[in-house]
Amino acid sequence: MDFLWLFLLYMTFLLLCVSGFCFLRGRSSSSLDAVFHTVEQAFSFVLPTCLQRYIDSCFHTRSVAFVVLHLILDALVFAEYTWEVLDYSLELEMNWMLVFLPYTLISVNLYLFYKCCAVDPGTVTKQNEALCTQVYEYDDVIFHRGSKCPTCHLLKPARSKHCGVCGSCVQRFDHHCVWVNNCIGAMNIRYFLLYLLSLTLTAVSLAVVITGFLLQVVLLSHMMTAAYVDSEGHEEIAGIVFIIQHLFLTFPRIVFTLGFLVILILLLGGYTCFLWYLSITNQTTNEWYKARRWQSSTPGSPKGYSRGILTNMREIFQPHTRYRKQR
Ligand SMILES: *[C@@H]1O[C@H](CO)[C@@H](O)[C@H](O)[C@H]1NC(C)=O
Ligand SMILES: [Zn+2]
Ligand SMILES: [Zn+2]
């Protein structure tokens, strides 16, 4: 049973890491501030001050730290997949299209990742200010006509928000994402939605191949019907615990990668569904969050502006370019 404890510890550690990263993702716009504060305080005991200050600066100024971390994680998972799983899987005669699918998906994903980082999210400037304010109508609940941004001294278009990290107002502001070191706004939300989808699919395809591979190993080695002799000399049939233990000891890195992928799929998949749901209903994360706060303080709520799934999605995938041309 010692092994099982080790394994559980391993999984808990994994879960903590991944959920930590996922929380950080939405940090600048989320309501989980209290949680972050607690986590921050816990970290402040163990991390040296200079490192703390560095991590802090990553959240308050633009920094490529998380972009690099993202690429490193990608590279690690794919290195493990290529060096260990790929050969075995092909030897076991798994469908080669399935085995190579993750590479196709990650290529698409990296392109979209680049787009999210590089494309201007729809910054409001002096030149396009007037045009930006015409794109959406003010609802006079969350967005008020004629209000100005106290930092940029420009008119605030409806649905926009000032991003403290980027230092500018962003049209149709969704949130600031540290993983792409950019705001998600009118002009790049379409890339971001596809980026999330492709990343989830990449993780799913990797997990499917790895699971298929491990199942093959179990079946081919007849582990299900194997028996072993325990410390008291009794012969026992290998159960599921024994099999997991055996796989874990034989392919520790592969099983670890699979655990990481499964947790990633759950969290990332959930987040992807959430953001797609918001897009389909013509809301931004910022508006969703504000509307919830609004609801709790006042009866009734700001009205929705959804005009049907297709119209909402068309607006996202073909954003108004009026204000872009005149920059
Ligand atoms: C989405 O909502 C905004 C108001 O928040 C509205 O001005 C816009 O026309 C709506 N777009 C669609 C496609 O329904
Ligand atoms: Zn501003
Ligand atoms: Zn930003």
Shared domain for 71 and 42, answered yes or no, is: no
Give the model's pLDDT for residue 326.
Answer: 44
Give burial (CB, 10 Å; 0-12/13-18/19+) of 283: buried
In this prediction, residue 327 carries a pLDDT of 42
Q: What local confidence, expressed as pLDDT, does residue 29 receive?
A: 45
| Over residues 263-280, mean pLDDT | 92
Ligand 3 centroid vs 235 CA: distance in angstroms?
A: 63
- Please check whether residues 150 and 219 belong to one and the same domain: yes
- The whole-angstrom separation of Cα 109 and Cα 286 is 25
Residue-level pLDDT at 302: 54
> Cα of 136 to ligand 1 centre, how many Å?
7
Residues 6+ apart with CB under 8 A from 76: none
Does 174 fall in a domain? yes
Is the domain of 72 the same as that of 155? Answer: yes
Q: Is residue 57 in a domain?
A: no
With H, G, I as helix, E, B as strand and everything else as coil, classify residue 179: coil
Residue 56 lies in a domain: no
Per the structure, the complete domain to which residue 40 belongs is given by: 1-46
Q: Are residues 39 and 137 in the same domain?
A: no
Q: Which of 161, 158, 86, 89 is nearest to 123 (CA)?
A: 161
Instruction: Tell me, yes or no, whether 17 and 144 share the same domain.
Output: no
Are 142 and 238 in a shared domain? yes
- Is residue 54, in this structure, part of any structural domain at all? no
For residue 181, what pLDDT is reported?
92
* Residue 27 reports pLDDT greater than 50: no
- Is the pLDDT assigned to residue 285 strictly greater than 80? yes
Ion ligand 2 neighbours, Cβ < 5 Å? 149, 151-152, 162, 169
DSSP state, residue 28: G
Residue 52 domain-assigned (yes or no): no
Average pLDDT, the chain: 84
Q: Which residues line ligand 1 (CB under 6 A)?
A: 136-137, 159, 282, 305-307, 311-312, 315
Residue 20 DSSP SS3: helix
Total domains in the chain come to 2
Q: How far is CA 327 from CA 54, 118, 323, in A?
A: 34, 17, 7
When pLDDT is averaged across residues 187-193 and rounded to a whole number, the result is 95
Q: In angstroms, rounded to a whole number, what is the distance separating the alpha carbons of residues 317 and 111?
A: 17
pLDDT at 142 over 90: no
Say whether pLDDT at 314 is over 50. yes
Residues 231-240: tens digit of each pLDDT: 777 777 777 8
Question: pLDDT above 70 covers what percent of the chain?
Answer: 86
Based on the domain organization, do 147 and 220 belong to the same domain?
Answer: yes
Based on the residue annotation, tell me whether 273 is a catalytic residue of this protein. no
Q: How far is the CA of 280 from the centre of ligand 3 (A)?
A: 23
Q: Are residues 70 and 216 in the same domain?
A: yes
pLDDT band (50, 70, 90) for residue 34 = low
Mean pLDDT score, 54-59:
74
Q: Is the pLDDT of residue 28 over 50?
A: no
Residues 152 and 289 in one domain: yes
When pLDDT is averaged across residues 155-165 and rounded to a whole number, the result is 92
Same domain, 35 and 143: no
Looking at the structure, do residues 168 and 315 belong to the same domain, yes or no?
A: yes
d(CA 18, CA 327) in angstroms, rounded, equals 40
